[in-house]
Amino acid sequence: MDMKSSDFVTVIIPTYNERENIQILIPKIEKIFKNNNITGEIMIIDDNSPDGTGEVADRFSKVFKNIKVIHRPYKLGLGSAYITGFKNATGNIIFEMDADLSHNPLKIPHFIKTINNGYDFVIGSRYIRGGEVIGWSIYRKIISKGANLLAKIFLSLRTKDVTSGYRAYRRETLKKINYETIKSSGYAFQLEILYRAFKKGCKIKEIPITFIDRRKGRSKLSKKEIFSFFLMLLKLKLGSDVF
């Protein structure tokens, strides 16, 4: 892989009741870093998980010195977790990654190579050639495909997977889109940040990923999140967002 000596990456992982999953995920990421000569940090943003996820992350931070743990007092939402991560990240390439093992860390070097090939924003896509989804119900597939179709129709987005949560950004890209003013969360957050990048003329690239539905814990998708996504779609269409 084409890694530059100047590359320093931050992998941001929001957590809420992911104790079992992060015990698998963190060592996997550390192994990817080591095997691919990647210099980077892992940032866990924990919203006071009742299952002790934050304490497990703290123990990992004593073993791996490149782990940062930020403890928040209660559940504040995915979007605000990423905003917190962006503010505290020191990497020049900054990742979003789910904690539930649905995103394969083996793809991290591919994201970095794509950024180094001149792109500002790279999305792990389930809906381009080579991408796939494993373990979803028909209902979940319809919701996801419908959201992507509407984003294409209403906002003229060329991206095929607007709701993917596996992403990498140049640090300068996040500054360019004024990320600190984003208030949305979940799917709506992913849509808003992508649309801002699109409107700013950022070079966006999708790479194929295999998304595996969580095996431990519960899915975080809710009717409220679906509603928030469609409300954000309408706001962006009407031009009521802030740039």
Amino acid 215: pLDDT: 67
Please state, as a whole number, how many other Cβ atoms lie within 10 Å of the Cβ of residue 193.
24
Question: Between the CA atoms of 124, 240, 14 and 55, what dihedral angle is there, to the nearest 10 degrees?
Answer: 180
Q: List pLDDT tens digits, range 49-60.
A: 999 999 999 999
Q: List pLDDT tens digits, range 116-128.
A: 999 999 999 999 9
217: pLDDT strictly greater than 70: no
- The CATH number assigned to the domain with range 9-238 reads 3.90.550.10
In eight-state DSSP terms, residue 66 is T
74: pLDDT strictly greater than 50: yes
Compute the distance between CA of residue 59 and CA of residue 31 in angstroms, rounded to an integer.
17
Amino acid 214: pLDDT: 76
Counting residues of the chain whose pLDDT is more than 90, the rounded percentage is 85
Q: What is the average per-residue pLDDT within 83-110? A: 97
| H runs (alpha helix) in the chain | 19-35, 53-63, 78-88, 108-116, 138-155, 171-176, 186-199, 223-238
Compute the distance between CA of residue 61 and CA of residue 42 in angstroms, rounded to an integer.
9
Planar angle of CA 59, 35, 5, nearest 5 degrees: 100
Tell me how long the chain is. Answer: 243
Q: Which of 195, 190, 189 is nearest to 177 (CA)?
A: 195
Amino acid 154: pLDDT: 94
Amino acid 187: pLDDT: 87
- Domains of the chain by residue range: 9-238
Q: List pLDDT tens digits, range 147-186.
A: 999 999 999 999 999 999 999 999 999 999 999 999 898 8
pLDDT band at 243 (very low <50, low <70, confident <90, very high): very low
Mean model confidence pLDDT for the chain? 92
State pTM to two decimals: 0.93
CB 209 within 8 A of CB 107: yes
Burial profile 210-223: b = 16 or more Cβ within 10 angstroms, e = fewer:
bbbebeebeeeeee
pLDDT band at 218 (very low <50, low <70, confident <90, very high): low
The two three-digit tokens of residue 70, written as one number:
């930020």
Q: List pLDDT tens digits, range 19-46.
A: 999 999 999 999 999 999 999 999 999 9
The two three-digit tokens of residue 74, written as one number:
């209660």
CA of residue 174 relative to chain centroid, distance:
13
242: pLDDT strictly greater than 50: no
Phi-psi group of 209: left, alpha or beta (phi > 0 → left; psi -120 to 50 → alpha; rest → beta):
beta
